[in-house]
């Protein structure tokens, strides 16, 4: 019996890890994330270089830039003067298939000649932001990075 | 010692202990959920502005150098902190000041334009023109990838 009691005493003195500080740290981190997190949709960028950032006269491109016009109703045109073509007019759709197709052709033509595609955009002041972004989105989708607004001064 | 007293003494030895392991499991699960799901805030988003949709938008990576201008549906402008910008002159002054601070820190300034999808583009154009006047020629249009 005496030997048994001695064995029990040794078992009670077993080393144990105190995890209370670990739990404290976990709770602190949890509270931090609970407080700091806000459920918001993630925004993405559609980049644009202004004319000031475009190449200067010494580096003028040797390809005719594609001219895109967005009117007050959101209709999209390409070309200027007599060669002007009306493309996408459905402002409720975020897709601009005709413009995208034309951009693909333009990019293919530029690449085959070893030139860099360049686009100039003219937007009517009455057009809404979403429609302009539709056009810029199509340009990003076509891989065109040289884009300038030609209408920054009314 | 009577048998009753002995029983009471042995009951005192068995301390009432709370099993913490399920709670720790739950805390770890919540912690992992938040660590995985959280995104670093690039700019403060004004909820009054509903950005347009652009499926080819690029992930916002660099926080430094961004100068935020919100364009509200009614055409008014605010800063990232929600301070009103009366007109192009106010935007010009704000952008110029922010650019100077960014230049000191060695950051390349860019206009982070958060235009509402229903705002008329002429207002955004005013902000872009004012920024260009202040020497900021890179514009980042804030958009969402999907409407959902």
pTM of the model: 0.72
Yes or no: say if B144 and A43 are a contact pair by the CB < 8 Å rule: yes
Q: Chain B partners of A47 at a C-beta cutoff of 8 Å?
A: 58, 138-141
pLDDT tens digits for range A50-108: 765 455 544 555 677 888 999 888 889 888 777 888 888 888 888 888 889 989 988 88
Q: Which domain holds residue A69?
A: 51-149
Q: Which residue bears the tokens 């004319």?
A: A51
Residue A116 lies in a domain: yes
Q: Chain A partners of B132 at a C-beta cutoff of 8 Å?
A: 50-52, 152
Q: Which residue bears the tokens 């207002």?
A: B123
Count the Cβ atoms, other than its own, within 10 Å of residue B133.
16
Beta strands in A2-84, from DSSP E residues, in sequence order: 44-49, 66-70, 76-78
Residue A97 lies in a domain: yes
Higher pLDDT, A17 or A6: A17
Residue A96 lies in a domain: yes
- Residue B145 near chain A (CB below 8 Å): yes
d(CA A147, CA B138): 11
pLDDT tens digits for range B131-145: 988 888 888 999 998
Torsion of CA B71, B75, B79, B84, to 10 degrees: -170
Residue A114 lies in a domain: yes
Residue A72 lies in a domain: yes
Best of A97, A126, A127, A133 to disrupt the B interface (most B CBs within 10 Å) is A133
Residue A31 lies in a domain: no
Yes or no: say if A107 and A143 are a contact pair by the CB < 8 Å rule: yes
CB-CB under 8 Å, B27 with A30: yes
pLDDT at B70 over 90: yes
Q: Chain A partners of B45 at a C-beta cutoff of 8 Å?
A: 40, 43
Residue A109 lies in a domain: yes
d(CA A85, CA A79): 6
pLDDT at A7 over 70: no
CATH of the domain at A121: 3.30.420.270
Yes or no: say if A101 and A143 are a contact pair by the CB < 8 Å rule: no
Residue A39 lies in a domain: no
Domain count, chain A: 1
Q: What is the ipTM of this complex?
A: 0.73
Residue B104: pLDDT band by 50, 70, 90 thresholds? very high
């Amino acid at each position: 019996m005496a030997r048994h009691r001695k064995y029990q005493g040794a078992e009670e003195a077993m080393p144990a890890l105190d995890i209370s500080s670990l739990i404290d740290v976990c709770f602190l981190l949890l509270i931090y994330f609970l407080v700091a997190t806000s459920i918001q949709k993630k925004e993405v960028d559609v980049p644009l270089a202004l004319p000031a950032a475009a190449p200067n006269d010494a580096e003028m491109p040797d390809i005719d830039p594609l001219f895109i016009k967005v009117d007050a109703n959101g209709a999209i045109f390409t070309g200027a003067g007599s060669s002007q073509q009306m493309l996408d007019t459905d402002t409720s759709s975020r897709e601009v298939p005709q413009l995208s197709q034309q951009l693909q052709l333009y990019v293919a033509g530029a690449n085959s000649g070893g030139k860099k595609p360049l686009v100039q955009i003219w937007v009517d002041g009455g057009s809404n932001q979403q429609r302009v972004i539709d056009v810029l989105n199509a340009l990003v989708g076509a891989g065109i990075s040289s884009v300038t607004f030609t209408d920054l001064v009314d | 010692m009577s048998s009753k007293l002995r029983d009471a003494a042995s009951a005192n030895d068995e301390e009432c202990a709370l099993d913490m392991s399920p709670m720790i499991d739950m805390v770890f699960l919540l912690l992992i959920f938040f660590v995985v799901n959280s995104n670093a805030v690039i700019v403060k988003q004004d909820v009054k502005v509903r950005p347009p949709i652009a499926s080819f938008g690029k992930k916002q990576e660099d926080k430094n150098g961004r100068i935020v201008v919100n364009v509200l549906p009614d055409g008014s402008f605010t800063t990232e902190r929600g301070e009103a910008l009366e007109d192009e002159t106010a935007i010009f002054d704000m952008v110029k000041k922010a650019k100077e601070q960014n230049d000191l820190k060695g950051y390349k300034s860019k206009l982070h334009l958060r235009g509402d999808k229903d705002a008329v583009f002429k207002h955004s154009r005013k902000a872009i023109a004012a920024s260009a006047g202040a020497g900021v020629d890179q514009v980042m249009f804030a958009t969402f990838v999907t409407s959902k």
